[in-house]
Amino acid sequence: MRERGDGHSPSTSGAGQTALIADDDRVTREIVRQVLQRAGYRVVACRDGREVLQALRDARPDVVLLDIVMPNLDGYQVCVRIRESSNVPIIMLTSLGNTDDIVRGLEAGADDYLVKPFEPRELLARIAAVVRRTTGRATQRQSVVRVGDLEVDRGRRRVRVHGKDVVLSPTEFELLYFLASNPGLAVDRQELLSRVWGSDYSADTKLVDVCVRRLRQKIEDDPSEPSHILTVRGVGYTLAEPTPEA
């Protein structure tokens, strides 16, 4: 990680929030700890996957930062285990930066992925963005959106399909809420990336594709033949409007 000594304070604040970091490299772990503490975060540091799962129960963090290559349980395995019981925001921090690694991390349930080395300000901005998705409140837009058998309640952070609750990660929820707020509108991938991940986000739009794939697995009766989130060839995605009954 490129630690900068320019003396400027970070543009984001983690006052009152807890960050859980996991990295088997002591130097990297300490650098990330210092960056987060300077920004006001309480930091819990772990050396391997098993420590992460124990600390998750005890510390109740607001965000989890996971390295991938760790002893006992790697970052992918830890991410899957966390998602079995928690929707805490997860960011993968790793030197494995090829497309397959990124897709695997996102499919395991991560909300974001940052490749080493990275700037402290970028790390803080990414953390602030994923935490906002978790704690975001309804704005002037409609708080509860209903499209056919799909109900998305932004105030309660709740999604129901066919009257049954569906558990989504923070990023999955924000993506679904945006599409549900604009049913029938074809939205290109870059627009979704900007709306959900952030206006200054400059990552591969594959993030969007992976998130949509995970969403379909959770809300569609048949993910291979989706009836809610439809692909608009050459553009992106749309949430289908319900067909009026005859």
Is residue 83 scored above 70 in pLDDT? yes
pTM: 0.71
Is residue 82 scored above 90 in pLDDT? yes
Q: Looking at 83-218, which runs of residues are DSSP E strands?
A: 90-94, 112-115, 144-147, 150-153, 158-161, 164-166, 187-188
- Domains, the chain, in order of start with CATH, read 18-135 (3.40.50.2300), 144-239 (1.10.10.10)
User: Quick one: angle between helices 170-181 and 206-219, nearest 10?
Assistant: 90
pLDDT digits (tens, 9 = 90+) for 133-177: 776 544 445 588 999 999 999 888 899 999 999 988 888 999 999
Amino acid found at 12: T
- Tell me the three state secondary structure of residue 246: coil
Enumerate residues 6+ apart whose C-beta is below 8 A from 136.
154, 174
Beta bridge partners of 230: 238
Under 8 Å between Cβ of 91 and 112:
yes
